[in-house]
Amino acid sequence: MKRNCEQVRRRLSVFSIGILLILLYSVAWGTTISIPDMAVGAGEKAEVPVMIDAVDNLAGVRLTVVYDTGLLTFRGADKTRETTSLMHIVNSKKPGRLIIVMAGAKGIKGKKFPLLLLHFEARKDVTEKRTTRPEIKECQMMSDQLKDIQAAVSTGRITITPSAGEKPVPEAGKEKPAAIPSPESARN
């Protein structure tokens, strides 16, 4: 009798673990929306992809992205090859905040592709390396069956470096005097 109970427990535990693994790795269970790390020079344009790791039947997206207006200027957004069937609207009226809505009658599916490309321009007068992090504050996604798709959010950093022509401004009191050529070295 004890043996039968142990066998039943083992089978139930193996079955439970199997169900959990299926749920954890199921595309419908959840996905991740992310902005990758990237670097850009001062005054340069940055094409920032909003990535999705895996999705099935995605028909609607609403994202709110906030960014530092002191370092970045929003210049526009483009759909990608994978999202051409979705219409998109980007509300950028309030500086530092983007409200992105994408929708379509038929859902799209895929793995590891950009939903949208956000175009920013880095501030020109950056004299030292600066880092900013555009944040996805809100994320709502729906399938073509009008069911919510759960999503985790991950945002990377945008590192802005001084442009090659820019020289860092020395700290006060640490300026090095310019070398003055001697008359003898000028003759040689």
**Residue pLDDT, tens place only, 80-120:** 999 999 999 999 999 999 999 999 989 999 999 999 999 99
Q: What is the pTM of this model?
A: 0.71
Q: Please report the sign of the dihedral spanned by the C-alpha atoms of residue 50, residue 56, residue 61, residue 63.
A: negative
Contact 58, 113 (CB under 8 A): no
Q: Give the range among 20-29, 56-65, 66-75, 107-116 with minimum mean pLDDT.
A: 20-29
CATH architecture of the domain with residue range 41-161:
Sandwich (2.60)
Mean pLDDT of the chain, nearest integer:
82
Question: What mean pLDDT comes out for the span 139-160?
Answer: 93
Quote the pLDDT of residue 14: 61
What percent of the chain is predicted at pLDDT more than 90? 64
Domain boundaries, the chain: 41-161
